[in-house]
Structure 1
Amino acid sequence: MLDVCLLGTAGMMPLPNRWLTSCLFRFNGEGLLIDCGEGTQVALREAGFSPNPISVICLTHYHADHVSGLPGFLLSMGNSDRTEPVTIVGPKGLERVVNSLRVIAPELPFEIKFHELQQDEEYFEIFGYHIHAFKVNHNVLCYGYSVDIPRKGRFDVETAQALGLPVKLWNPLQKGNTVEFEGKTYTPDMVMGAARKGLKVTYCTDTRPTKSLVEAAKGSDLLICEGMYAEEDKLVKAKQNKHMTFYEAAKVAKDADVNELWLTHFSPSMTGHKRYMKAVCDIFPQAKLGEDGKFVELDFAEE
């Protein structure tokens, strides 16, 4: 089970009903935060969550509306009695940027570990999250993130019994361990079926439509994607500023064959967001407007 909560959906500047960009993931008691715009710690509290269990913070890029909330957020984590290390992931320059922001938050009761992205694409695993970071097309170095929760195959009881394996060895095999019994070695693949469909969420803001985004988002249960502009006359501005329109985001969702699209990172000049959604849904029917506090609990598909 994977919880996803949009904490902030505004772009460029916060608004009375929208904090700046941030999104929370929760899995097996460990939290993962993508971006930390101004107001993130307030938005987190408004959504009913604590900063303490957040072990990983992924930053897409270093524009202020994506990182300006970080010093206060780290302080709140420390004030909530966290002592375990926190891993921060981001593009080149990560440690310099975070340490510069920490001038106003120098004393923390936990260690910060840095994972600086070096390649156009990187895959890594942390706290059960399988993360794919991929470079997108903004006017500064910027990454999107796909978060996967894989699902193991079913344990084959009949095969285990045929092999004569006692029940006490079943659980270690299910957990991926190799066991020995009566002089023979048994590996998980001998008693586990093929991997089943897991859960996947892709998050991307501040980019033009890119092949890397479409490919990374393929088959996602949820795509959270920027829609900075929706007005017909803003396409030129979107191209100039390396952002996307509602309609371009919908086309990405369609091409990536995702289950659902949440639009986010809206321009502060945009009003009447809902009136644009009919045209968006004509392109991708499962499109929805993001709102601060929008929450979904994703569970593995029934079989």
Structure 2
Amino acid sequence: MMDVCLLGTGGMMPMPSRFLTSMMVRINGRMMMVDCGEGTQVTMKMLGWGFKSIDVICITHFHADHISGLPGLLLTIGNSGREEPLTIIGPQGLGYIIEGMRRICPELPFPLELIELNREMKNPIVISEFHISHCPVDHMVKCYAYRVDLPRIGKFDTQKATDLGLPRSLWGHLQKVGSVEHEGKEYTSDMVLGDARQGVAVTYCTDSRPVDKLISFAKNTDLFICEGMYGDDAKKNKAKENKHMLFSEAATLAQRSGAKELWLTHFSPALSEPEEFLPVAQKIFENTRLGEERLTKTLVFPKE
């Protein structure tokens, strides 16, 4: 299963009741996050998942409300006792940005491994428990949406194991470890598994106009977390000018992608009552809800 938490829902600046947009994903006790604006550590502390087990941080783009909290977070992760490498993924120029930020957090007890994205880089990138895909979107600066998949292997096929002559006493070990040696020959789990089964996935997009490539990128995702900077359709010209989305545009993407659920996030500071415009999105995609600070959901494999 996969735990997903929306740490904050604000765009541009943190507010007393609204932290900046960020997402946490937890699988088997390991964690990844997307974006880390000013004050993100506060809402993380309130969530209570800890800091030490964060294995990867993905950055959508280099505007301050999505990255300015990173130096402090890295120091906190270091103070938690982490020594294992931590990976940071982001657009090209990430190395330059991190170099500048490291001037105020120069001594970390763990190494940083940086991955700068480009259009030729294949999906997914596998780090720890996370299968991370990226998709370029349309903002004022280079920006990426992210998708995290938790694949599910096929069922153990007892007939295949029997046909291979593997004794039953080795079946459990083969399932857990992935390989086993028997009578001088190595057997791997793919030799005894059926077809892969349906997994679970979450897709996260902020700071973009609605582009067609997001439809295929978020296809059949269990949870689509998407920006709704403006609720009122009358703000469309402003959304186009600033390269953001309306509630209705996010809902249309969710509907066309076949997503199971949509959470709206990245609200404008001027949008004090986003609930007023929720029906606009729900008219297009019924299973839409407003993001809330530390809204959490556990995605489980579908029943067979």
Normalising to structure 2: TM-score of the pair? 0.95
Could you tell me which residue of structure 2 aligns to residue 41 of structure 1?
A: 41
Identity %: 51
Instruction: Give the length in aligned residue pairs.
Output: 303
Q: Deviations over 1:3-49 (max 9, x none)?
A: 10111110001111111121101111211010001111111011122
1:69 lines up with 2:69 in the alignment: yes
Go from structure 1 to structure 2 and tell me whether the alpha carbon gap of 1:140 and 1:40 turns closer, same or farther (over 3 Å shift): same
Go from structure 1 to structure 2 and tell me whether the alpha carbon gap of 1:189 and 1:97 turns closer, same or farther (over 3 Å shift): same
Moved more, 258-267 or 232-241: 232-241
Write the distance in 2 (CA, Å) between the matches of 1:40 and 1:105: 17
Could you tell me which residue of structure 1 aligns to residue 189 of structure 2?
A: 188
Ranges in structure 1 where 5+ consecutive residues have no aligned partner:
none
Could you tell me which residue of structure 1 aligns to residue 266 of structure 2?
A: 265
Instruction: Tell me if structure 2 keeps the 8 A contact 1:217–1:223.
Output: yes
1:206 deviation in Å?
0.4
Q: Secondary structure at the match of 1:201?
A: strand
Q: Deviations over 1:51-95 (max 9, x none)?
A: 111010000000000001101111111111111111000000101
Q: Deviations over 1:161-205 (max 9, x none)?
A: 343311343235435745443455544333211100001100010
1:202 lines up with 2:203 in the alignment: yes
1:242 deviation in Å?
0.6
Aligned amino acid, residue 167 of structure 1 = R
Aligned amino acid, residue 38 of structure 1 = E
Write the distance in 2 (CA, Å) between the matches of 1:173 and 1:284: 44
Instruction: Tell me if structure 2 keeps the 8 A contact 1:138–1:207.
Output: yes
Matches within 5 A, 1:126-205: 126-175=127-176, 177-182=178-183, 186-205=187-206
1:219 lines up with 2:220 in the alignment: yes
1:156 deviation in Å?
1.2
Write the distance in 1 (CA, Å) between the matches of 2:50 and 2:115: 23
Ranges in structure 2 where 5+ consecutive residues have no aligned partner:
none
Instruction: Tell me if structure 2 keeps the 8 A contact 1:146–1:201.
Output: yes
Q: Deviations over 1:251-290 (max 9, x none)?
A: 0000000000000000000122112111211100011100
Q: Secondary structure at the match of 1:283?
A: coil
Write the distance in 1 (CA, Å) between the matches of 2:121 and 2:145: 10
Go from structure 1 to structure 2 and tell me whether the alpha carbon gap of 1:53 and 1:189 turns closer, same or farther (over 3 Å shift): closer
Moved more, 177-186 or 46-55: 177-186
Could you tell me which residue of structure 2 aligns to residue 245 of structure 1?
A: 246
Q: Secondary structure at the match of 2:283?
A: helix
Instruction: Tell me if structure 1 keeps the 8 A contact 2:233–2:248.
Output: no
Moved more, 283-292 or 176-185: 176-185
Go from structure 1 to structure 2 and tell me whether the alpha carbon gap of 1:122 and 1:36 turns closer, same or farther (over 3 Å shift): farther
Could you tell me which residue of structure 2 aligns to residue 12 of structure 1?
A: 12
Could you tell me which residue of structure 1 aligns to residue 30 of structure 2?
A: 30
Moved more, 159-168 or 90-99: 159-168
1:159 deviation in Å?
3.0
Aligned amino acid, residue 270 of structure 2 = S
Instruction: Tell me if structure 1 keeps the 8 A contact 2:11–2:269.
Output: yes
Write the distance in 1 (CA, Å) between the matches of 2:62 and 2:225: 19
